[in-house]
Structure formats: C-alpha cells, structure tokens
Structure 1
C-alpha cells in the first residue's frame, strides 16, 4: 500500500514537471524555452518508464565458495544478477544484507584486546557495489567477508537499487537468495597445567599423565626387555641374583565434565562469551588426549551435551554444537547448574567456564564443592570491567577450595594460556 502511494506521488510529480515546462514554453516562447522543454522530455519519459520498470523480473543468485570455515578465515561470495528485459539502466546499487552475527571481525586471539570494549570490533564495511549496466543482461559482484566470526550464518536478502538520472525515481527491490555457512570456533593454544589422578591410596598431582608412576610400588616381577633401568629393584636383584623390576600400581583417572555458561545479564559480554566457547573447544580437544571420558555440556536456551568418544562423529557433534550456540540474555545459569549437579557423578572433574560471576553462581559452585565435587572455575572478564562483587566471589571460591582461573585480555592474548583442567 505504501509503495503504491509512493508510485502515484512520483508519477504525479513527473507529469506535473512536464506540464510546468510546457506551460513555461508556451508563455515564454522563443528558442531557449522550447529547447529546454524538448531537452527534458527524454529524461522525464525515462523517469516514467523507470516507475513501471519490473524490478521483480531480475533473477539474483548468491554463491558462497565455502560452506565450512574456521573462525577468522575469509569467505568469498559472488552475487550474480540476470536481467530478462534489456532496458537501459544508468546505475545499479547492489548491497548484500549481512546478518548481525557477521558484523564484527574475528581476529583470533588479537580480538581479546577489546574484551573491555567489544563494540569496537563491529566496524565491518557493508558488502556494497555500484554498477553501470546500461544494456548488459548479466552482472556479477564479488566480495569477501574477512575474519568471519563463529556461528551458523544465514545469508538471506540482497537489496538492489536503481533510478533515473535526476533522482526523481528510486526503485528498490529486496530479493531472497538463501545461503548457509557454518563457521567452526577457533582454538586457543593451551597448557592444561597440573592434572590430578586417583589411586587406591588417595590423590596425587603430576605434570604428565603416564601409564606408570614410580612412587606407588605394588610388587616386583622378573625383568622384561624394554623395562627402564630406574624400575629395577636392586636389593631384590642382589638377593635373587637375577634382574627384578618393580611393578607399579595402575592409574585410575577421573573423567572430565566441562560446563559452558550460555547466559548473560548484559549483552555487552558477548566477546567474553566467545572466549568461553573457544576455551571450551580447546580444553575439550586437549583434555581428550589425557582423559578417558570427556563430556561437554552447554547451558543456554536449551541444554546441549556431547561425550567425546573414539571416531569422528562425536568430534563433529561437538564442533557443530559450539558453532551454533548463541548467548541468551537472562540470569538462569545458576538454576541450570543446580539441576545439572543432580546428574553429576562425584568421581568426575568438573570445569565450569563462565563470563558471569554473580552471587547465585558462586554460591551454587560452593554448594557443589561441599558435595565433594572436584570443581574448577574458569572466569573470563576484562580487567577494566571486573567489579568488587566479582572479586569477592573469586575470593570466596578460593577460600572454599575451588580452583579459580581468571582470564582477562592480558592472559587471553598470550601465545599460550595456562589453564588447569584437573
């Protein structure tokens, strides 16, 4: 309805201008006035034709050169326009309407320098081009989305604008040209640091998970080729006059559960949430090499989880889950964490990654610790934005026996980040 009114108004203005020029020529007379009238007639007739030009007959297609990328890579896109009617167009403006999720630059670890003011990353130029087709029926527009961020991106509408020479007529058309791109989260170089293993005699900390531990001897046996010299029991060897090797107690590892906070009371924490996603992905892949069972739980709009197993299927599910998860604006994480604790076995390590540390969250974590759950917190927050309440929360967790790792812009931009997953 609004478009029809605009068309009628534009047509009326063009006709009125023609009538005004004709009236001026009739009353003024002379060569100049009639020359002016006849000079403007083609321009005004073209404007009338442009009012009725069928924009809907344009066929517009979008072709993405890659459907699967890693965060920070460059996506190449080609927009093709095919015109069925060879009507002369003096200009054509083509603009790809990019989704909100693509408006910021993912510069890998360097983006965390803006952890305190993430809006500065939203400086992407529009995918826009001005063409001068005239009678050409096929046009192409190529552009790139560099440093593309994580997510499942839906590229949908393309806007096409044209008009007459004097700007009396402006025709605009929005065309749906669907394309989907899945961008996997980036990986952060990690050093998982100290790990804990459980033995029948209690707990012990070590820096590398090994098949045998030389300080827990369970017996002796005859020497076998391949045994290390440090394993030989020299006293028993001297007594028996034959090489005897110590036997070590077999390690029993705890399994690992990683919980990601997908909630936030403030939308401006979206970059800290992105750090949590990348840390979850990196810790999962790194810990899988050392732990027998690694489970990842994402608590957001819905609960989603995956258990890493041998084979590609579980890793593909993890990648897909962390690629598509989006932050939800509410404060329901503490409640979801409590519900999650009911299903959590006490013989598992628990790592919680969060960009928010409200009173309800750290009190819930303290309750988990009181239930003998081996829990660790990884907290992402800019050093410029962290408040007194959050520092108090970290202190309370520390005094309660919870291992706390605070990651700010200084630590996130290092070549390697130290995170304990024990």
Structure 2
C-alpha cells in the first residue's frame, strides 16, 4: 500500500511534466528524476515482516468492572527478529470508550530484541462485553512511501457490569421455603426472631424461652416458639417491552430496570437464597435459580447485554419457562415499565399457578414532566395516565411498587416495606 507521501510525489511528478510541456522548457523534467528514483527505490525495498517475530503481551488491571470504572492497559510489543522496523502502532477499542490518560497511537523505531510499551487508561460509560485489540501495526519503509498493515495479538474481552445498590432489606414471604436457615419466615416453628406460639415446657428447653407471663396465668411452664427462617427460590423477571415509546428516555428506564435486577439479585443471594433470572428483550434468555457468588456473576454477565425490544410476548415466554425452572408457591419479582396491557395476562397466569408475585415498576415520566419542552411534558402526562390505569388493575391482583428512577432504590423499598409486609401476611 502507498502512503499520502507517495501520492504527493506522484502528483508533483505529473505537475512537473505538465509544466515542462506547457512552457516547452524540457530541462524541467530533470527535477522529477529524484522523485522517480525514490518511488522506484520503494518498489525494490518493499516493507514486510513475519508476524511470528512480533510478540505482543497485554497487561490489564481486570477484565471485569462496573459501569463508570477505569482500567489501566499496557501493551508490550517486542521485536524478536534481526531487523529494525519503523512502525506505527495503534490499539483497537470500542468507539464510545473514553481514553483518560495515555495514547492509543504512536510511531516507534523498533531495533532487534527491543521492547516498546504502549500504556493508557480507559473509562467505560456503558455496560456490555467489549473487545480490546488486536493491535494494529503499520510497517513503513524508510522513506514512508509504502507500508503494510498487520493485526498482531489476540483481542481481550472486557465485561462491564451494571451498577447495583447494596440493599438493606426487602421483605418477601412466599409459601414455599427450603430446608436451610435463611431470612425468609416459613410459618413453621423453629429458630427465628418472630413469635409463632407457645407450647408445654419440655425438660431441656432454654430458660430464656420460658414465657413467665403465661406461667403466672396458667400456673404451668410454657415455652415460646418462634417462626423459623429459611431460604427460598426467587425468580427475577426483567421486562423491557413498551420502552420504545419513551424515545430518548428509554435508555434511562432500561438502566433502572437492569440496576434494580442486579441489586435484588445480590440482596437475595447474600442471604443464602437461590435466585434465577428471565430477560425479555432483544436478547432473550434465562438462568435457573441457584445460589452463591458464581450465580451472581452469571446474572451480571446476562444483565450486561440486556437491550430494548422483544418479538415474542412475555406471556408466551413465561408459559413455556416457568414450569421448568421454578416451583409453585415461590417468589416472582417482575420488573416492568407497565406500558403493555399484556402484562395483566402474565400476572394472571402466575397467580393461577400458585406463584407469589410482586411488581416493581420504574417510572420515567417524572423526568419527562420536569422538562421545559412542551412536547416532552405532554408525553409525560399521557404516559402517566396510561401507567396509572394499568397500575390500578395490577394493584388488585398483587402488590406493586412504583419507583421514581431519580430516587435510590434502597429508599423506595424502605418506604414500601410496610405495605409489602401487610400483603404478605
């Protein structure tokens, strides 16, 4: 391939030829001889390199990070050949990634056995899975007239996870619980903190569990029993249908849903519960309920790729998936914008199959109604009326929490805690 300098040399030669012909002064052609010799010399000494002679090592702080975090990248390029190369080095990164420090492109003269380090700092403003690399190497001849491009090294995948809050508490009370100790009340006597009832004293019972007031009334020893706390299965459903009508605010609504799903997953998993996930969007998928940090990592990887859309209805998706991945009488948390009336059939189906369901809906119309644009303000009012109409119908079937996305999810759940508990009882 030829560089811009080669094109300029050719244009200059053509200009000299034309000038000599127009003026009739042919000795001017002598001026083009050095340029012709340079171009001919570049044909003889064509730049080439064997890729095995270039060794690339990439050092990265971490390949997993949260939206908004920064990573330092170092790319080491070593010349293992016995030749000297004049190179232009540039690294490939996604177009929206911000370069905070350093540079992605530089020129270097690499002698035999010499090593060059290219370093920079990147900030990732959005979630997803992205590739860094491969390294683009442009080999020039000594006159920078001809060059060849090469891709060196393998790309490295960076996983950027959504942000999530460390929620304090979220009170759910499904009918079905597991056998392991946890934080979910099971409506059975055992180890716990909430009063369950009293029974006759049995030798060996702890003294601190004796109900002395009942003893004074009944004249016999009785023991307090508490409601045992166990683990349960929780299925989180992220529904993105209807977000297309929000226009520029759709991405804010989507991020709120994804962040809420990640926050709730972390809360339930750290308390020992099994958590599963269903995503209804452009990329559909599901994860069976399981427990532990590895499950949280799977969920984060899944949530990193959530996007708006969805061809198959959520109703059809759940009818095929729910019986396979979740037992009846366990907890479903549906995170949805409530902009599609078909959500009512989803809730009806879950209740008819004895699932405990709770709806968490982020509301974006607060931001739209604060806008100075009259069209956005009017659109916000229309969306508010549509959503309130659907919320009235949903509220008759199951508990619902409306979440202003400008507020912390932790505060919203704290204010809604009492209403959820009353419904659960």
Same fold (TM over 0.5): yes
Does residue 261 (structure 1) correspond to residue 259 (structure 2)? The answer is no
Contact 2:191 2:226 (C-alpha < 8 Å) held by counterparts: no
Does residue 131 (structure 1) correspond to residue 106 (structure 2)? The answer is yes
Pairs within 5 Å for 1:366-405? 366-369=348-351, 372-383=354-365, 384=367, 387=383, 388-398=385-395, 400-405=396-401
Give the 3-state SS of the residue equivalent to 2:191 in structure 1: coil
Cα distance change, pair 238–321 in 1 and its aligned pair in 2 (3 A): closer
TM-score between the two structures when normalised by the length of structure 2: 0.67
Does residue 411 (structure 1) correspond to residue 407 (structure 2)? The answer is yes
Residue among 288, 312, 337 paired with 1:332: 312
Alignment correspondent of 1:80 = 76
Higher relative contact order (CA 8 A, sep 6+): 1
TM-score between the two structures when normalised by the length of structure 1: 0.67
Give the 3-state SS of the residue equivalent to 2:237 in structure 1: strand
Does residue 232 (structure 1) correspond to residue 207 (structure 2)? The answer is no
Give the 3-state SS of the residue equivalent to 1:410 in structure 2: coil
Q: Give the Å deviation of 1:13.
A: 6.7
Unpaired segments ≥5 residues, structure 1:
105-122, 200-205
Alignment correspondent of 2:118 = 141
Q: Give the Å deviation of 1:373.
A: 3.2
Does residue 315 (structure 1) correspond to residue 293 (structure 2)? The answer is yes
Moved more, 262-271 or 181-190: 262-271
Pairs within 5 Å for 1:2-401? 7=2, 14-15=9-10, 17-18=12-13, 20-21=15-16, 41=35, 44-45=38-39, 48=42, 52-54=46-48, 57=51, 59=54, 61=56, 63-71=58-66, 72-82=68-78, 84=81, 85-88=83-86, 92=88, 94-99=89-94, 103=96, 128-134=103-109, 136=111, 138-147=115-124, 149-160=126-137, 172-175=149-152, 177-196=154-173, 211-212=191-192, 215-222=195-202, 227-228=207-208, 231-237=210-216, 240=219, 244-248=222-226, 250=228, 255-261=233-239, 266=244, 269-288=250-269, 290=271, 293-299=274-280, 301-309=283-291, 314-325=292-303, 326-327=305-306, 329-334=309-314, 335-343=316-324, 344-355=326-337, 357-369=339-351, 372-383=354-365, 384=367, 387=383, 388-398=385-395, 400-401=396-397
RMSD: 4.8
Give the 3-state SS of the residue equivalent to 1:283 in structure 2: helix
Give the 3-state SS of the residue equivalent to 1:392 in structure 2: helix
Unpaired segments ≥5 residues, structure 2:
177-182, 369-379
Q: Determine the C-alpha separation between the residues in 1 that align with 2:266 and 2:166.
A: 11
Contact 1:79 1:141 (C-alpha < 8 Å) held by counterparts: yes
